[in-house]
Amino acid sequence: MKLIYKAGVGLLFLLQLRIAAAQQKQSSITYKLLNNKVVEFERSEWDINLSAPFSNPYDQQQISLDMLLISPSGKPLYLPCYFEGGSSAASVWKARFTPQEAGEYSYHFTLKSKNGEAESASGTFTAAASTKQGFLHKNNLWTFKFDNGDLFRGIGENVGWESRSFENPKWTYNYLLPTLSKNGANFFRTWMSYWNLPLEWQKVRSTKRYKNTDEYFNPGGIKRMDQLVNMADSLHLYFMLTMDWHGLLIENGGWKSSPYNALNGGPCKTPTDFFTNGAARDRYKNKLRYIVARWGYSPNIAAFEFFNEIDNAAYTAADSVLIPQEAITEWHIEMSRYLKDIDPYKHLVTTSISHRDIIGLNSIAYIDFNQKHIYKHTEKIPGIYPDYIQTFGKPYVVGEFGYRWEDDDPKYAKEADYDYKRGLWYGMFSPTPVLPMSWWWELFDDQNMTPYFKGVRAISDMMLKAGNGKFEQLQITAGYLHSQAVKCGDSSFAYLLNNTKRQIKAAVSMDYNGSKDAVVKVFYPSSGKTNAIANFKISDGHIIIPDFELNAEQEAVLIISLK
């Protein structure tokens, strides 16, 4: 009996080997590296040819192709690949990979399908060293850091979407982004929605740029996202990609055309089901996988944001609960962990609220920085950061702010311009890696406000260079003037704002333990002019300017440095 049992086990093992070999043959994998030269921090690309069964190549429950690499330092890397075209009999897939190390990599491709698992032959390539900066990662409360060690503070605004069908057609990425870049901005934030970059949306609205489709992912959205990533790279701009906005889950908003809605063939009967239904979660993971596979290679995607203002979907305007908070938090835990698992570059990850916190959302380990939006209360921005940082120990970003949230009525343009300016400086002198980002980009372009970024960027660059990323907030008093101050290395900077309708003359006194051989200058952001200040004294650990004068609603930046 023992001999028969052993023989049976042997036959079973041989049968399993034959089945596995047949499956490998049925699911053949061949590939070709398309780059003549692979370079660190630059995209390399492969064509992969398969023969494997699927009815939906975007559903990883049916089929998934991954690239497994070993980096020069021995680090294992996992990269999802994406479907390009073809059928089960012969399909073409793509791998897009950006090396973060120079040196030799080894790699192969693995396939999972109804035929089982298959593996390609192994290959190698060598990535040449580069002078590029790489991807952005957390550094401290004030800055992000590139792979090469360079520091970064985001300066820019929201470019929420390109013009809708009822708006001025000039408001496109092609117009707005070069304008930001040439004026010193380095950052923007943009949405995916049914009218802008509609990756998941079969039914689009309020747009002439995209069309309805029967495809799983919208071809127009894919094409425009390709163009946006290339544009951001060419302009040296970094952006936060908001993958969904709260309207997706609002009954009279995007829910009626949502791909998750059962009325459109989706798995959900209610918006709450989006967070709790297993099929809905699987579908969302398909989207995350595709985004990482196709565009994750780009260092210019600084951060992935799950939702814009998720609290506005969770509650009614009267604060009645529509979606349980715990469901939203648990969903974000699962999706942020999944995104970190499949993203070999470890992009920054975030989500956002409007004005109501969701219990547990700010404490999620896989969310790199927390985010809030503030309207009509820009004066509260400096106080936001210490409260949240002390409680949750993470960087904090004001992802939107504005004088009004209702609309961009030009009759409020003067007040909005003033708000735009002070919001940037409040963030500059506060612990945040991305300065507050204004909304209403069309209004501010009409107001020719974009050149204002030049002065903001110049001061930011001075701060980073002087302190090599180290910031120390200083005590400062300036009478009735709003005042904030920081020390960066051997230099100190102070922001002063006359927040009144009358001229103010005040004595400015701030902490100073530097050399008595100091130079004091004042920079006026609105004019771009810099003047020397001779009337100052240094005494008892303070630098004092006895008679500093600012006109109504005027601002100034003091720069104290060594000769």
The answer to whether the CB of 268 falls within 8 A of the CB of 330 is no
30 DSSP β-pair partners:
49
Q: Between these two residues, 126 and 515, which has the higher pLDDT value? A: 126
Domains of the chain: 2-128 (2.60.40.10), 138-467 (3.20.20.80), 472-562 (2.60.40.1180)
Average pLDDT over residues 429-433: 98
Average pLDDT over residues 27-39: 93
Average pLDDT over residues 444-460: 98
pLDDT at position 318: 85
> How far from each other are the two terminal CA atoms of the chain, in whole angstroms?
95
| pLDDT beyond 50 at 435 | yes
* Residue that is written with structure tokens 């070069």 in the block: 178
Residue 4, classified by CB atoms within 10 Å of its CB into exposed (0-12), middle (13-18) or buried (19+), is: exposed
Strand, helix or coil at 439?
Answer: coil
| pLDDT beyond 70 at 8 | no
Average pLDDT across the chain, whole number: 94
| pLDDT beyond 50 at 26 | no
In 3D, which of 492, 472, 471 has the Cα closest to residue 545?
A: 492
Condensed to tens digits (0 to 9), the pLDDT of residues 316-336 reads 888 899 999 999 999 999 999
Q: How confident is the model at residue 415 (pLDDT cuts 50, 70, 90)?
A: very high
Q: What is the CA angle 89-90-96, rounded to 5?
A: 140
538 DSSP β-pair partners:
543
| pLDDT beyond 50 at 18 | no
Average pLDDT over residues 431-438: 98
Return d(Cα 557, Cα 457) in angstroms, integer: 13
Overall residue count recorded for the chain in this entry: 563
Distances (CA, A) of 184 to 101, 220, 456, 530: 29, 30, 8, 18
Please report, rounded to a whole number, the percentage of residues in the chain having pLDDT higher than 70: 95
The answer to whether the CB of 212 falls within 8 A of the CB of 200 is no
Please report, rounded to a whole number, the percentage of residues in the chain having pLDDT higher than 90: 92
Q: Find the largest Cα–Cα distance for the chain.
A: 104
Q: Token pair of 229, please?
A: 């990533």
Strand, helix or coil at 457?
Answer: helix
Helices (H), 355-440: 381-392, 413-428
| pLDDT beyond 80 at 379 | yes
| Conformation bin of residue 103: beta by default, left when phi > 0, alpha when psi is -120 to 50 | left
Buried b (16+ CB within 10 A) or exposed e, 511-540: bbebeeebebebbebeeeeeeeeeebebee
Query: Who's near 224: CB < 8 A, 6+ residues apart?
Result: 197, 209, 210
Distances (CA, A) of 150 to 43, 119, 137, 140: 20, 38, 11, 13
HSE-up of residue 146 (Cα within 13 Å, Cβ side):
18
Return d(Cα 255, Cα 182) in angstroms, integer: 38
HSE-up of residue 318 (Cα within 13 Å, Cβ side):
1
Q: How confident is the model at residue 27 (pLDDT cuts 50, 70, 90)?
A: low
Residue 7's H or E segment, with its range, is helix 2-26
Q: How confident is the model at residue 6 (pLDDT cuts 50, 70, 90)?
A: very low
Distances (CA, A) of 408 to 160, 405, 412, 416, 539: 14, 8, 8, 9, 48
In 3D, which of 514, 523, 549, 552 has the Cα closest to residue 535?
A: 549
pLDDT at position 251: 84
Please give the model's pTM, rounded to 2 decimal places.
0.94
| pLDDT beyond 90 at 1 | no
Return d(Cα 137, Cα 536) in angstroms, integer: 41
Condensed to tens digits (0 to 9), the pLDDT of residues 79-128 reads 999 999 999 999 999 999 999 999 999 999 999 999 999 999 999 999 99
Average pLDDT over residues 237-248: 96
Query: Who's near 348: CB < 8 A, 6+ residues apart?
Result: 136, 137, 138, 144, 302, 303, 304, 368, 369
Return d(Cα 479, Cα 3) in angstroms, integer: 97
Condensed to tens digits (0 to 9), the pLDDT of residues 174-229 reads 999 999 999 999 999 999 999 999 999 999 999 999 999 999 999 999 999 999 99
Does the CA dihedral 423-429-432-434 come out positive or negative?
Answer: positive
The torsion angle over the Cα atoms of residues 191, 194, 197 and 199, rounded to 10 degrees, is 110
Q: Token pair of 25, please?
A: 């043959």
pLDDT at position 308: 97
